[in-house]
Amino acid sequence: MKMNSIRLSLIVYFVLLLTFAMSAVAWLSFRLTAASLRDRQGDAHDLIVSQCDAQVAIARAEVDHRILRQAQNMARSTRSVPVHAEAWFAVPIICSPGLLSPHFANAIFLAEGLHSKVSPFVQPVLQPRLAVIEDAEDHVPFPDRNIAQEYFQTYNGRGQPMQNSEVLQPGEFTLSERVQSTSELLMEQFDTIGLEDGTRVRRVTLMAPVPRYNPGVVVPWVWDRMPPPWNPFRIPLGPIAKGVPKGPSTTPFPKGPAKGIPPSSFRDRWLAQVRAPFQSPSQVTNMFVQYGADLGLTDAKIGAYETERDEKLANLNTAIENELGVLRSRMIGVGLVALVSLVLGALGIVWVGLSPLTRMSEAVRHVSPRNFALDLDPKTLPGELQPIAERIAEMLKHLQMAFEREKQASADISHELRTPVAALMTTLEVGLRKSRSGEEYREILEECKICGQHMYKLVERLLALARLDAGVDPYRPRATDVCDLALECADIIRPLAKARGLKLKLDLPEPVLTMTDPEKLQEVLINLLHNAVEYNNDQGSIELAMTHDANQMHITVRDTGIGIKPEAMEHIFERFYRADASRHADMPHAGLGLSIVKSYVELMKGLIRVESSDAGTAFHITLPIVEPSPPRESGIMEMARVG
């Protein structure tokens, strides 16, 4: 697009700049807001995920806690059972004397607690007791079998299965080797296993010490069956907790897998209870309890949690995307509104900013040849335009002056030309109105001649200027004695000076021969001398002086006149300029003389300058001295050139 209008281009650039800046700002703020939204989204995401994780962990911990409690309950329910007579019966039958090693005894009785520290031979005598859980199924509290199927299995210290849930298939709840081989007291160990029917089961394995009941006497079976307090050997077991205790628990609900239960508390309490009647820890033997629960419901719960989490996350993502979309459209809307208002603002600012220019162009438009005044006060303009307006005003002033001078000049010329014509015609008319004497006719003819001379001089000057302008008045240098020429001019002027009572002083050195145009130089000198006569004071003097050096000569024409006013000094060489607006004397003057003088001096490659004070005016002319070549030589050269 071509930008012809400052206004248009300013607006366009302005709008482009603003659009760019606003786009950048909008883009940046959108990015920042989007980033913070994403951060928030991430935080919310983490929160949701961790909430879900916590719920899952709690669900798992609930299972772990429950099965641990159950296992602990079972372990607490263990006790030694004396080997009854019917059992004793079998011992001699099955065992040969050679095989009465403790290991065999253990294998045969499937019992727990016949340890190697007791002599195999003594053992049958000591009526060892087996650690069994009486009514094991009863110790497994299933408060609601709809919630989860639960399983148990117990092993003796040697890792041989002792009791199990009926629903368990053989080999489903195996005791790992690591558990068997450890010599430490294991508290609990959690794992997840799969059953043959595909059920996932959470399982805890607990190693429990079993007290060995060794009173040193054979307790009759019946007594042995007696419950305490009638049977002092019977260990009071306390109530068996049924299921997960309701209400506040003595131990805090574990936060994670059963680790949370301080193992020492239960063990110490239990050990203290168990050991109390026996005094010796060596009499304690171990058993393993495994307890498991079906994870189906827990998994379903966890699945629900995860589904909920995924829903929440999806909602979160949707919300964030919606929010970003709203943000984007708001940004675009705000941007558009801002852009429109900025464009309007730009229009206003440009309009206001350019109004001084408009005012100036309006003022300039009103300038015409009839009215040069610039209708504008530069002080009301901004600083940048003030110099322009001032320059324009100044130029217009100059132009107006030139116009007026030209007008004045044409009036001058018409006056100068018409007045002698009028004089000539009037003289002739008056002369012809009646018959006159020869003397009178002669007088009239003399007057006519004077009129003619005036007209001739004026026409000559106008023609001289016209020739100068047209460049058809060439510089014709000739070998000239300037001193001689000056004397001639002085002779011409002397009578005029004398008529006005002026003294003419000459200060001319010996002859100076130079190549110059004598006619033009004479015209220059005569003109200056004429002025000196004309503008001199009565009884004044005129001085024509000349000096020279090897290269230049200086001619000075000085008068003792009224001088030139300083404001006129720069104009005096201008054509048609006259220091005095009204006219002077009876010589034709259209303000052309000095203009011709300057043109001629410049044509002669010289300089002219003027000095003036109220004591008089001096014109200084400097002309180059050019040695004239001897005429003969030039003649020969011309001949040579022709030849």
Closer to another protein by Cβ: residue 307 or 426? 426
C-alpha to C-alpha distance for 325 and 192, rounded to whole angstroms? 47
* Structure tokens belonging to residue 390: 């001032």
Closer to another protein by Cβ: residue 492 or 585? 585
Element (H, E) at 9: helix 6-76
In DSSP terms, which residues pair with 207 in a beta bridge? 288
User: Which position among 122, 581, 640, 642 is part of the footprint of another protein (CB under 8 A)?
Assistant: 581
**313 sits near another protein (criterion: CB under 8 A):** no
How many other CB atoms sit within 10 Å of the CB of residue 355?
Answer: 11
Residues 6+ apart with CB under 8 A from 319: none
Q: How far is the CB of 579 from another protein (least distance, A)?
A: 13
C-alpha to C-alpha distance for 635 and 641, rounded to whole angstroms? 10
User: Which position among 25, 35, 421, 487 is part of the footprint of another protein (CB under 8 A)?
Assistant: 421
Q: Which stretch binds another protein (CB under 8 A): 52-60, 148-156, 406-414, 467-475?
A: 406-414
**425 sits near another protein (criterion: CB under 8 A):** yes
C-alpha to C-alpha distance for 332 and 336, rounded to whole angstroms? 6
Count the residues of the shown chain that bind another protein, applying the rule CB under 8 A.
Answer: 32
Closer to another protein by Cβ: residue 337 or 585? 585
User: Which position among 586, 631, 633, 641 is part of the footprint of another protein (CB under 8 A)?
Assistant: 586
Closer to another protein by Cβ: residue 472 or 581? 581
Q: What angle do CA 475, 480, 481 make, to 5 degrees?
A: 145
* Structure tokens belonging to residue 246: 């309701």
Closer to another protein by Cβ: residue 226 or 444? 444
C-alpha to C-alpha distance for 561 and 541, rounded to whole angstroms? 8
- Strand bridging mode 541-548 / 503-507: parallel
In DSSP terms, which residues pair with 616 in a beta bridge? 613
**369 sits near another protein (criterion: CB under 8 A):** no
Closer to another protein by Cβ: residue 584 or 609? 584
**565 sits near another protein (criterion: CB under 8 A):** no
Q: How far is the CB of 469 from another protein (least distance, A)?
A: 23
Q: How far is the CB of 566 from another protein (least distance, A)?
A: 21
Q: Which stretch binds another protein (CB under 8 A): 112-120, 298-306, 539-547, 582-590?
A: 582-590
User: Which position among 411, 445, 636, 637 is part of the footprint of another protein (CB under 8 A)?
Assistant: 411
Q: Which stretch binds another protein (CB under 8 A): 295-303, 315-323, 420-428, 507-515?
A: 420-428
User: Which position among 83, 95, 424, 557 is part of the footprint of another protein (CB under 8 A)?
Assistant: 424
In DSSP terms, which residues pair with 139 in a beta bridge? none
Touching another protein, residues 250-289 (CB under 8 A): none
- Pure H helices in 77-166: 85-94, 102-109, 123-126, 136-139
C-alpha to C-alpha distance for 418 and 451, rounded to whole angstroms? 11
Q: What is the CA radius of gyration of the chain?
A: 71
**582 sits near another protein (criterion: CB under 8 A):** yes
Closer to another protein by Cβ: residue 516 or 531? 531
Q: How far is the CB of 587 from another protein (least distance, A)?
A: 11
Closer to another protein by Cβ: residue 31 or 565? 565
Q: Which stretch binds another protein (CB under 8 A): 156-164, 186-194, 354-362, 411-419?
A: 411-419
φ and ψ of 522, to 5 deg: -65, -45
Touching another protein, residues 430-449 (CB under 8 A): 430, 433-434, 444, 447
Q: How far is the CB of 340 from another protein (least distance, A)?
A: 57
Q: How far is the CB of 572 from another protein (least distance, A)?
A: 18
* Structure tokens belonging to residue 167: 């629903």
**427 sits near another protein (criterion: CB under 8 A):** yes
Touching another protein, residues 448-467 (CB under 8 A): 450-451, 454
**590 sits near another protein (criterion: CB under 8 A):** no
3-state secondary structure of 164: strand
Return the beta strands (E) in 134-280 as ranges: 150-156, 161-164, 189-194, 200-211
The shares of helix, strand and coil residues in the chain, as percent rounded to the nearest 5, are: 55, 15, 30
Closer to another protein by Cβ: residue 581 or 640? 581
C-alpha to C-alpha distance for 603 and 623, rounded to whole angstroms? 10
Question: Residue 464's closest CA among 590, 586, 625?
Answer: 590
Residues 6+ apart with CB under 8 A from 421: 451, 455
3-state secondary structure of 252: coil
**420 sits near another protein (criterion: CB under 8 A):** yes
* Structure tokens belonging to residue 387: 């110099």
C-alpha to C-alpha distance for 410 and 556, rounded to whole angstroms? 32
User: Which position among 176, 264, 414, 547 is part of the footprint of another protein (CB under 8 A)?
Assistant: 414
Q: How far is the CB of 413 from another protein (least distance, A)?
A: 9
**418 sits near another protein (criterion: CB under 8 A):** yes
Q: Which residues bind another protein (CB under 8 A)?
A: 411-412, 414-427, 429-430, 433-434, 444, 447, 450-451, 454, 580-586
